[in-house]
Structure 1
Amino acid sequence: MWERTDTSGTDLAVLDDRRGLYARGYATARDPIPYVCRYELVADESWATAHLDVSVEGAGWLRTLRLERAVGRWRVTTGEQGDLDRALVDGGHGPAGLPGTEEPERLHDAIDIDLAGAPLPNTLPIRRLGLLGAPPGTAHRLTMAWVLVPSLIVMPSEQVYTVVDEQTVRFAIDDFRADLTVDKEGYVVTYPGLAKRR
């Protein structure tokens, strides 16, 4: 269980990692508007993402997303009920836009997903690339399928993972940097500015 440090909220994940990863998560957050996010994340034995199912719900709206990766291609399926755009605008924010992506081919190079606000997906590239125990300075530039929450818009995101020491992996995207503290299995303990495991 992680407690959000950027807003009021938590993220609880129940998982089985004996052969890849099967995880079910339940997250809540107050910002940008209050919502509940449920997700199921499955990675194969190489720790590459096989599929992600997400539903996000708030007062008067619900969005769903399914991302499936097979034969090097992503399939994206979405659903929407109610009016998230109106809820965001009423809360003083801009509209969310449509869930999913109109150009799934832009995700072609992505093997991993990044679910905004959730520390768990960071473990996938850490385990898949063997960053635990790798020499300091070992770095990998990756394209991720980044899922924004609560909109569930999916976009490609260039990210860099760099080993700092045996308990720290630096995560970087554009000008943003965070030194993730991880346990001996590569699960995030502290994600500065986002969450801390309880």
Structure 2
Amino acid sequence: MAGGTVLWTSDELGSAEHCSLDVGGAGATLAGTTVLPFEGRPAHIRFSVTTDPQWRTRSVDVEIVGHRSITVVMRVDDGAWSVDGVARPDLAGCVDADLGWTPATNTLPIRRLGLDVGESAELTAAWLRFPDLVVVPSRQRYVREGAHAWRYLSGDHDFALETNAHGLVTRYGDDLWVATATADT
């Protein structure tokens, strides 16, 4: 199980995304490109999230290209987070990154937690909110409801997730994001 690719669409968000998951001995990399409106104009976001072999986030690189270009760089070193080179002690204890425009980063805790059906776990993720692009700690709960069925809860959010064998989301909520094509790599 080296990885996979997925193409998601979201009618509600007016977006489409291609994402790949590559898993190796040194960790995993989630990389994608999302096309969506940003500040009322066409834009695309390129992102990459790397983990260590235990699925703990090590780096996040985001580039938004539209009527203006924006980058966000997050790094984790021995549990100490920085965002755009600025230390962020408020993110201490976060293990996962959550990018607010994509279901891709749900894969990180799904793979890291290794929950059995019926089990649940709470965590705090470093959430890059969209569209304001502010990074904040976010309390989240994952419940494994079936072999490929999960429930994601955070604040007012309560979504059923379906995943493939790689932990990539194939359906998020009723139709917030839906995989229209997947492949193993």
TM range (shorter): 0.7 to 0.9
Give distance in 1, aligned partners of 2:75 and 2:38: 28
**2:8–2:178 Cα contact (<8 Å) kept:** yes
With normalisation by structure 1, the TM-score equals 0.80
Give unmatched runs, 5+ long, in structure 1: 79-101
SS of aligned partner of 1:30: strand
Pairing of 1:41-190 with structure 2 (within 5 A): 41-59=49-67, 61-77=68-84, 104-131=88-115, 134-136=116-118, 138-190=119-171
Query: Hey, what does 1:27 align to over in structure 2?
Result: 34
CA deviation profile, 1:63-102 (whole Å, cap 9, x unmatched): 1111010111001117xxxxxxxxxxxxxxxxxxxxxxx7
**2:22–2:29 Cα contact (<8 Å) kept:** yes
**1:5–1:196 Cα contact (<8 Å) kept:** no
SS of aligned partner of 1:17: strand
Give distance in 2, aligned partners of 1:13 and 1:48: 19
1:24 Cα offset (Å): 2.0
Give distance in 2, aligned partners of 1:173 and 1:15: 24
1:103 Cα offset (Å): 7.2
Higher relative contact order (CA 8 A, sep 6+): 2
Which structure 1 residue ranges, 4+ long, deviate > 6 Å from structure 2? none
SS of aligned partner of 1:123: helix
| Higher strand proportion | 2
Give the AA of the match of 1:114: D
User: Number of aligned pairs?
Assistant: 171
Give distance in 2, aligned partners of 1:75 and 1:31: 24
Give distance in 1, aligned partners of 2:76 and 2:172: 27
**1:107–1:155 Cα contact (<8 Å) kept:** yes
Larger radius of gyration: 1
Answer yes or no: is 1:37 the counterpart of 2:45. Answer: yes
Give unmatched runs, 5+ long, in structure 2: 1-6, 181-185
1:31 Cα offset (Å): 5.7
1:149 Cα offset (Å): 2.5
**1:117–1:194 Cα contact (<8 Å) kept:** no
Considering only aligned residues, what root-mean-square deviation do their CA atoms show, in Å? 1.7
1:43 Cα offset (Å): 0.9
Give distance in 2, aligned partners of 1:69 and 1:6: 33
Query: Hey, what does 2:3 align to over in structure 1?
Result: none
